[in-house]
Structure formats: structure tokens, C-alpha cells
Structure 1
């Protein structure tokens, strides 16, 4: 609970994954990928309840081993490639009669997001009197130095002259990192995941913003998490 408001964390985790099969249960630095997110949610001092939504029995068993609420396996229509996160959250709110004021959406593909990240983003949500907060990180490469290419791969118009500056002179861009989404439940029921004047960005560092989509992402996250585990074991 934070500011007299009850907080529920919802962790959506499908069993299927096109680019990295079964990624949510793959062993990452000693435990299943999804376990990193469950543990971060459990360690967060503001979260009152955790709910894992999945269509997969193995993921369900992992959640239950962590003592996490698992009301049912997710219906098939909410597990297809076309199903949206917004529709899943609305289903959870309606189906399970959730007694909370704030939803924290935590995707399991962000294993380096810590309990402290969640706590600080919730504190920021309260500080800003926000209706929603979404985490972002600074773009690793400026989008002003990116473009589509014609069929012949000609570079003549690739970068407009106004953008041919030193990197330090370019404006700073930010991107969604998918790590944490926070919503006022009453507002979410009406507006969904749309941004409004009461939506704010919470900045996270690049390392904690790694989002696992490919095998390369997975290997990089595994390396970084093993480094963290080793560091804390020595300290």
C-alpha cells in the first residue's frame, strides 16, 4: 500500500513465444526468467497482491511455487498473437473483482528491473498525482540517424542535412522500455492504456531496461545478472 492506496501487481506471461521459444521458463542466471519479476514484485514494499496471468501450466506451477495468486489458466482468446495487454488487464479487473486502487503491470521480459525500480516509480506516481506512469530509458542511438532505405539502398537522402551534427549536439530521445506500467484502476477502466495530461514518464537506466525478445537479449541479460549475483555474494 502506498498513500493509503492498495496496489496489485499483474504479471502477464504467455507460454508461447515466436522469436525465443519458451522464454518465460528458460533458466536465466539460475532461475526461470519469470521468477526474476515475481521476486522483484514480492520484494517491493508497496505491493499488496501479485497475480500471474498465463495460459501455460509450467508457468502456473512456477507462480504457485512462489506463493503467487493464480486464479485460472488464461482463456485462449487472451493468449493469441492479436490479444492486447489492455484487454487482458480489463479481463482481470472484471473477472477477479480486484480490490485495489493501483495496477502495476510487470512484464517478465524485463528481469533487470528491481524492486527498488518499482518502489521509486510508485513514489513518483504519488508525487505527481498521476493517473498513469510508464517507464522509459534514453535511446542508445539517436533516431535522427536512422531511416528507411530505398530498394537500391542509395544513401543520398538517408540523413537530412539538418541532422548531420555531432552526436553530442543532437536532442536526447527516450523510448518505452516495457519494464513498469502503473495505472489508476478507475481511470484505466475508462481510458485503458492511453496517455493523457496525467500520464508521466519515469526514467530508468539502460542496463535495467533490457527487454528480452531474442536469444542475444537473453544471453546479455544472463551475463549481467550473473555479474550482479556475483557482486552481491562478495559484498
Structure 2
């Protein structure tokens, strides 16, 4: 069985209520639920939440929410690994079916769509991958980044060999948080995802907004509203 897990806690310190905040006419989490369902690659789309409000809205948009998270995986220190392991083990016991592939789809990536999910699955198939993780190119060259001393000195801030035109520098990529796709063997060991057999799925930066702040939310709303 292929299952999608959308982890959505009720609490958010920087942007309260963000998972169900109206984004271009829908609760933010609805965009991820609809993308997962429309992709047609999952047997079940689950939302894991500790919030009754999120649960109700998620069900309204077609996701399965069989329970509210137990207290022990609803704290600030609970990890995505804890959430995924709990749901997968519950599913296999409750349904008596083996999970083959799991996707973590964070609701804070509302510009990730059904096509992105389908293409990530295609990478997994074509590369015979154990896992596929979405990335995007860094918006600014990492070669132009460094730490600063306490006094703010920029002595040696940029290596002389990197003083080039941006287009002449080797591109670097970052995790964008939109898609984590992996086989059953990684459940309860997500820290080992970044290893041999894991491949990237490259997304445009415009589809890679990960909402954490009001500014992120406004930008995502602009893109959604204007079809960017």
C-alpha cells in the first residue's frame, strides 16, 4: 500500500493557526490534501493532527483522520519520525495490510501540486530508488555565504576563487520540505534517509515556499492568487 501522511499540529508559535488559515480561498492544509488525492498515487491519504479543528477540515476535504494524536507525540519535542512510525504501525495493525511506500507531505508547502508528486514517484521508479526527496536550487550562491566574527569582520568572508559572476558558480541545492517519499524500511529511521539509494526531485523555487512566517504566507497567497 502507498500512503501519504500529512503532519499538522494545531500549535504554531510564529504563525498561529497557519494550517487552517485561509490561503487563496481554502484552508492552507486543503491544498496539500487535494494535491495528494489528485495525484492518484496513494491508496490512503492521512492527516496526523492533535487538533479537532484541523481534523474536521481535513475530513471535509477528503483526507482520512482516524484519530487525534496521542499526547506523547503531540509535544514540541515530538519528531516527524515519531508521527510517521506511530501512524504506519497503527495502519498495518488496523488494516492488516503492509505499507510499501510512505510520503510525508507537509501542509506548509501549499504550492506543491499533484504533478510534483507524480513526478517524484516517477523518479523513484526510474531510479529504482529507496527514497526521493524534493529540493530546489539555492536562491543565492552558497559561495557568497559565510559566518561572521563577533566584531563583524569580513576578512576572508569570500574565498578569492569564488569571486565570479553568479552564473559561473556551481549551483547548490537545499531541501524544500515539500515531498519526502520512501520505502517501509525507513520508518522509524528517517535520519538515515540521506544515504545511498536516495535521489533528489528538483522543484522550481516558486513552488518551494515553506510557510513559517507571515511573509511566507503572503508570498504563497500571491503566487496562488496570480497562478505563478
CA shift at 1:190, angstroms?
6.5
The C-alpha deviation readout for 1:87-115, integer Å capped at 9, x for no partner, is 21111111232633111110000000010
Residue number in structure 2 paired with 1:192: 190
Q: Distance in 1 between matches of 2:188 and 2:3?
A: 18
Equivalent in 47, 50, 65 of residue 60 of structure 2: 65
Separation of aligned partners in 1, 2:73 and 2:132: 24
Q: Please, which of 7, 12, 34 is the counterpart of residue 12 of structure 1?
A: 7
2:149 corresponds in structure 1 to 150
Which residue, 76, 94, 103 being the options, matches 1:81? 76
More off after superposition, 96-105 vs 142-151: 96-105
TM-score relative to the length of structure 2? 0.93
- Is contact 2:10-2:49 (8 Å) kept? yes
Query: After the TM superposition, which residues 193-208 of structure 1 pair with which residues of structure 2 at under 5 Å, given as runs?
Result: 193-194=191-192, 195-208=194-207
Unaligned runs of 5+ in 2: none
Moved more, 161-170 or 21-30: 161-170
| Paired residue total | 223
SS of alignment partner, residue 18 of structure 1: coil
Report deviation, 1:162: 2.1
| Correspondence 1:37 to 2:37 | no
DSSP-derived class of the 1:67 partner: coil
TM-score norm. by structure 1 comes to 0.91
CA shift at 1:66, angstroms? 1.8
Deviation at 1:147, TM superposition (A): 1.2
Moved more, 79-88 or 202-211: 79-88
Superposed CA deviations along residues 61-82 of structure 1, whole A, max 9, x for unmatched, are 0011123211111122212222
Other-structure match for 1:3: none
Structure 1 unaligned regions, length at least 5: 1-5
What are the equivalent positions in structure 2 for 1:203-222 lying under 5 Å apart?
203-222=202-221
Q: Which residue number corresponds to residue 55 of structure 1?
A: 50
Distance 1:96 1:48 in 2: 12
Please report the RMSD computed on the Cα atoms of aligned residues, expressed in angstroms. Answer: 1.4
1:142-173 per-residue CA deviation (whole Å, 9 max, x = no partner) reads 11111111122112222122222221221110
SS in 1 for 2:187: helix
Instruction: Tell me if the contact between 2:28 and 2:108 (Cα under 8 Å) persists in the aligned partners.
Output: yes
Once structures 1 and 2 are overlaid, which stretch shifts more, 100-109 or 190-199? 190-199
Give the secondary structure class of the aligned counterpart of 1:96.
Answer: helix
Once the two structures are superposed, the pairs formed by residues 77-226 of structure 1 within 5 Å of their partners are 77-97=72-92, 99=97, 100-185=99-184, 187-189=185-187, 191-194=189-192, 195-226=194-225
Alpha-carbon separation, structure 2, partners of 1:192 and 1:89: 9
For 1:45 and 1:95, the matched residues in 2 are separated by: 23
Paired with 1:124 and 1:103, the residues of 2 have a C-alpha distance of 15
